């Protein structure tokens, strides 16, 4: 049973890695913690749901239609909001993306109401079918596909960054935007392209969220927390670390639920806290500084 | 028409007036050595020409067009490349990636990945190595190669020998010979007066943000430049400037 729970945790971790991918990419390249990340995922879930319902097509086809829209939104978001925010210090992007999340959540509530929705009915048997695993247990087909998509996306992004001219330009700009300008790179356009790519990954994650569970206008913040925890556990800005972070979070939650009925969320948060504290201490800060920071955060 | 002209340029760092009313013009194929003590304003002047620093007054003209308000990346596309002080390589990227990332501008010209490696043979040996792991001389060669990948019409070299061992400096200047031989137009900021006077066709000496001596390198003695460099006989040197 424990082995099965670990396996289910790994698959759940695939979803967390998928939802965290865009957050990690954006932080790694743009140095922005996008607090609207979860809300944007839910926004794309609604977009896919609307397209699928209106055109009576599969959510996977609807996603293909939504991806360019989200890419354009990412480009615009960077050029109109994030670029200006970044110029005003580290706190402004946090505030502006928090504000954006509030706007998105409430516009969705205004437009769609509080009803929960899901894309599960639109994908038929895929929503609940599973394959048996030798030695007992089973793996959900959708969960396995989600894990595969997460791995493929992270591998694809890594290859893109390492092997393509735009990928190299993104890495160069991320490392030193001023020098990037001096070798002919338009850092504003490169950042906007990175933001567009991040929102494409968020759209994919939002669609899988909508296929595996229900969502409503206020689902975003919870998804942001899971994504944030996966990114921090795996190491901020590292794509491979995000996959590992997602898996660690998923396994911890599943094992936690076996220990106690309420243990699912607590175990995940506990692992996040332990990793965060370990990073804090390894960075040379004293335990007293950590406690002071925690007291400050709770005050 | 001059290839590069700077007219009454002023540049500041907050309250510090780093460049004051600087004017000069550079013809195609000329090598201008910009010398002066630390804090004379040489780096700020080069950064203002490249677009990395916004001047507070005056104009930068390139090929007859006013580029003062043009962003740095667009100036590179037009043919102005800066090798910045301290190399400023993308340290997490390999030498090959540092070169290729600058090749995105796709300006036509003789320089490409292969011709740069031919001019800087040591880079071929370290092409797959992270640039942050290279020695200072190898890093400087990579930084010059990276600028060449943009096929510049004017190459701005800022303190290429700074912090390097004498052996590394010789190596860098040996590599630069291929660039000079190609007829490149260069503005060279250099602390080593002898070396600067040896390769330059013209010399400009800066003191406290102003050009206090300017002329053909062949017409100047080392003593003249040294006196202007340290601010001795300043009025005489200013007179010689014209």
- Checking if the pLDDT of A290 tops 90, the result is no
pTM higher than 0.90, yes or no? no
Percent of chain A exceeding pLDDT 70 equals 96
Q: How confident is the model over B177-194, as a mean pLDDT?
A: 87
**8 Å CB contact of B104 and A178:** no
**pLDDT in the model for residue B43:** 94
- B127 vs A291 pLDDT, higher one: B127
Percent of chain A exceeding pLDDT 90 equals 76
User: How high does pLDDT run on average in chain B?
Assistant: 89
Domain boundaries, chain A: 2-125+136-295
**pLDDT in the model for residue B242:** 35
Q: How confident is the model over A218-225, as a mean pLDDT?
A: 95
Residues 184-203 (A) with a CB less than 8 A from some CB of B: 184-187
> Residues 6 or more apart from A228 whose CB is under 8 A from it?
A20, A23, A33
- Checking if the pLDDT of B234 tops 70, the result is no
- Checking if the pLDDT of A5 tops 50, the result is yes
pLDDT tens per residue across span A80-89:
999 999 888 8
| A2-125+136-295 CATH, one of 3.30.1300, 3.40.47, 3.30.70, 1.10.3470 | 1.10.3470
pLDDT tens per residue across span B84-107:
998 999 999 999 999 999 988 888
Distance CA A55, CA A67 (A): 16
Q: Which ipTM value was assigned to this complex?
A: 0.89
**pLDDT in the model for residue A297:** 56
**pLDDT in the model for residue A294:** 62
**8 Å CB contact of A183 and B51:** no
**pLDDT in the model for residue B233:** 58
Residues 51-70 (B) with a CB less than 8 A from some CB of A: 51-52
Chain A: nearest CA to B57, how far in angstroms? 21
pLDDT tens per residue across span A8-28:
999 999 999 999 999 999 999
**pLDDT in the model for residue B221:** 81
Axis-axis angle for helices B234-241, B222-230 (nearest 10) = 120
Q: What are residue B60's DSSP bridge partners?
A: B6
- Name the residue among A197, A162, A167 with its Cα closest to residue A185: A167
Per the CB < 8 A criterion, the answer to whether B188 and B200 are in contact is yes
- A291 in helix, strand or coil? helix
């Amino acid at each position: 049973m424990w082995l099965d729970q670990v396996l289910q945790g790994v698959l759940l971790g695939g979803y967390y890695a998928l939802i965290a991918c865009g957050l990690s990419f954006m932080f790694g390249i743009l140095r922005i913690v996008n607090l609207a990340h979860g809300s944007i995922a839910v926004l794309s879930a609604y977009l896919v749901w609307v397209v699928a319902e209106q055109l009576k097509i599969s959510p996977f086809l609807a996603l293909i239609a939504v991806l360019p829209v989200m890419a354009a939104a990412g480009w615009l978001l960077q050029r109109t909001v994030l670029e200006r925010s970044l110029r005003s210090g580290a706190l402004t992007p946090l505030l502006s993306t928090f504000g954006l999340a509030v706007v998105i959540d409430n516009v969705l509530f205004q437009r769609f109401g509080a009803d929960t929705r899901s894309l599960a009915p639109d994908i038929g048997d895929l929503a609940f079918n599973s394959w048996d695993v030798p030695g007992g247990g089973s793996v959900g087909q959708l969960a396995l596909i989600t894990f595969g998509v997460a791995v493929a996306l992270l591998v694809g992004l890594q290859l893109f960054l390492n092997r393509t001219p735009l990928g190299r330009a993104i890495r160069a700009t991320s490392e030193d935007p001023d020098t990037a300008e001096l070798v002919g790179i338009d850092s504003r356009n490169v950042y906007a392209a990175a933001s567009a790519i991040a929102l494409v990954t968020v759209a994919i994650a939002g669609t899988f969220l909508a296929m595996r569970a229900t969502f409503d206008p206020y689902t975003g913040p919870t998804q942001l927390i899971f994504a944030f925890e996966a990114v921090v556990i795996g190491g901020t800005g590292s794509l491979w670390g995000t996959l590992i972070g997602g898996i660690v979070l998923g396994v911890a939650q599943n094992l936690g639920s076996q220990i106690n009925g309420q243990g699912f969320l607590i175990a995940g948060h506990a692992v996040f806290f332990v990793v965060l504290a370990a990073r804090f201490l390894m960075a040379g800060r004293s335990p007293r500084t950590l406690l002071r920071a925690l007291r400050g955060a709770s005050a | 028409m001059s290839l590069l002209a700077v007219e009454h340029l002023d540049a500041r760092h907050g309250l510090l007036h780093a460049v004051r009313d600087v004017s000069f013009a550079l013809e195609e194929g000329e090598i201008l050595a910009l010398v002066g003590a630390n804090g004379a304003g040489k780096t700020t002047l080069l950064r203002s020409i490249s677009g990395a620093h916004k001047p507070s007054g005056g104009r930068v003209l390139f090929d007859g067009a006013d580029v003062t308000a043009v962003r740095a990346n667009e100036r590179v596309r037009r043919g102005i490349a800066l090798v910045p002080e301290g190399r400023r390589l993308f340290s997490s990227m390999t030498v090959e990636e540092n070169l290729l990332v600058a090749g995105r501008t796709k300006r036509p010209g003789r320089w490409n990945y292969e011709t740069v490696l031919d001019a800087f043979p040591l880079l071929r040996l370290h092409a797959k190595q992270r640039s942050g792991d290279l020695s200072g001389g190898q890093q400087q060669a990579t930084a010059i190669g990276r600028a060449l990948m943009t096929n510049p019409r004017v190459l701005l070299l800022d303190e290429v020998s700074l912090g390097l061992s004498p052996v590394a400096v010789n190596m860098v200047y040996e590599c630069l010979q291929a660039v000079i031989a190609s007829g490149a137009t260069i503005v060279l900021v250099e602390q080593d007066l002898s070396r600067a006077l040896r390769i330059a066709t013209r010399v400009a000496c800066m003191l406290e943000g102003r050009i206090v001596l300017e002329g053909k390198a062949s017409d100047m003695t080392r003593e003249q430049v040294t006196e202007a460099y340290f601010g001795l006989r300043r009025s005489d040197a200013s007179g010689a400037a014209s």
